[in-house]
Amino acid sequence: MPAFRASILDFIANPYETGEKSFRYFKDGLLIVEEGLVTACGDFASLNKTLSAEIELIDYSGHLIMPGFIDTHVHYPQTDIIASHGSQLLDWLERYTFPAEKKFSDPVVAQETADFFIRQLLCNGTTSAMVFATIHPQSVDAIFAAALQQNMRLISGKVMMDRHAPDYLCDTAQSSYDDSLALINKWHKRERLLYAVTPRFAPTSTEQQLKVAQQLVNEFTDIYLQSHVAESPGEVEWVKELFPWSRSYLDVYDHFGLLGDRSVYAHCIYLDESDRDCLAKSGTAVSFCPTSNLFLGSGLFDMQSALEHGLRLGLGTDVGGGTSFSMLKTLHEAYKVSQMKGYNMSPLQGFYMATLGAARSLYLDHKTGNFETGKEADFIVIDLNATALMKRRMSHCESLEDELFVLMILGDDRNIKATHIMGECRYQRDNLKS
Ligand SMILES: [Zn+2]
């Protein structure tokens, strides 16, 4: 049974609603873990007295412990096309994404990439993620096997796609049902793994396939659904042509019963008020993916509207359209996008969104996202002085918020000193190469 000493920060509420009361901070804190779960979190001075002799005290003094980051939208098969030059969404899919995803019919390629991807998550301080695989069932086996090896809480699923993609990447409504069902039976709720029904986006599924997705969601009440919506103007126009009866892009998914608890949609840029009301009422979550939205020239997400509507909101790296596995860099871009929309995102709001807010968006806040007693002890150790510039800048900070803002703007994987999953150290910056 280990205990960890460091400065400790976690969130207990949404800063948008509760401001300063949203977080707990222990300058000299102690986090006690038993069998992978948090048993206590508080001031070192008071908790230290309760420690029995057999407790192993791990001293991270001078560093900041936070709950691990949760990436709510990312594509592991696109790891090798990150930073591919020059196009917008629909062109990018054809030029880079589809040829890259073709390779995942080979289980050896899938496993090697999945293992690398999981190591990237860990060295960036990401302890949970909601992940797209490809249409190939073996690509789902590979990512779940890699996550299982690290005992990670991870959500993934087989992409469903039966039109407007190359033949080599198309399934059928029936085969997508059969394959998804087999994968659900094999992986859903195995250890910490969860399955998501994964239609890529409305344009690449026939109405028949969207009905099949609905059928799967209805057959398993605790299953997830992940997809994309309203990412780029060209895509929105295309959806209008393909589904002329729909009121909006989001309405297509609503029509097929694909909104609700445990449904997560990436992007959500081109929405109107009734779309946002519909997301709020149905409990559907949004994944804000600033680096990919900027990189593909898609548009600027309206975070303030999302907060005003009380939407369940997480942050996604969206690699490979996204340009970094680092949630710190993703927060940095989220801040800039919000600035462009006239909303000044506070660092508290940002780190909430990357931890407890994300856990809430995935309906996992009873398990993870902060250090309440009984939660799974997924946490990261942050070195606030990882570079000469950060060390210098940090020395001028006058408050925790100042420090968090510098971390959010200047930080990256160099700040992640260690990543712990269920209390166990799975990555250490200084002695593990990724
Ligand atoms: Zn995506």
As a whole number of angstroms, the distance between CA 42 and CA 231 comes to 42
The kind and range of the H/E element at 145 are: helix 137-149
| Per-residue pLDDT, 434 | 44
Contacts with 291 (C-beta within 8 Å, 6 or more apart), sequence order: 317, 318, 322, 323, 324, 329, 330, 333
CA 116 to ligand 1 centroid distance, Å: 19
Distance in Å, CA 52 to ligand 1 centroid:
48
Give the CATH fold of the 69-361 domain.
TIM Barrel (3.20.20)
- Residue 419 · residue 427 · CB < 8 Å: yes
The CATH superfamily label for domain 2-67+370-428 reads Urease, subunit C, domain 1 (2.30.40.10)
How many Cβ atoms from other residues are within 10 Å of residue 326's Cβ?
25
Ligand 1 midpoint to CA 344 (Å): 25
Percent helix, percent strand, percent coil in the chain, to nearest 5: 45, 25, 30
Spatial neighbors of 290 by CB under 8 A, at least 6 apart, are 301, 315, 330, 333, 334, 336, 337
- Do 2-67+370-428 and 69-361 share a fold? no
Q: Could you give the CA distance from residue 415 to residue 426 in angstroms, rounded to a whole number?
A: 16
- Whether pTM > 0.95 for this model: the answer is yes
* CA 211–ligand 1 middle distance (angstroms): 21
What distance in angstroms lies between residue 74's CA and the mean position of ligand 1's atoms? 6
**pLDDT tens track, the chain, 434 positions:** 899 999 999 999 999 999 889 999 999 999 999 999 999 999 999 999 988 888 999 999 999 999 999 999 999 999 999 999 978 888 889 999 999 999 999 999 999 999 999 999 999 999 999 999 999 999 999 999 999 999 999 999 999 999 999 999 999 999 999 999 999 999 999 999 999 999 999 999 999 999 999 999 999 979 999 999 999 999 999 999 999 999 999 999 999 999 999 999 999 999 999 999 999 999 999 999 999 999 999 999 999 999 999 999 999 999 999 999 999 999 999 999 999 999 999 999 999 999 999 999 999 999 999 999 999 999 999 999 999 999 999 999 999 999 999 999 999 999 999 999 999 999 999 864 44
225-265 pLDDT tens trace: 999 999 999 999 999 999 999 999 999 999 999 999 999 99
Domain ranges of the chain: 2-67+370-428, 69-361
| pLDDT score recorded for residue 433 | 45
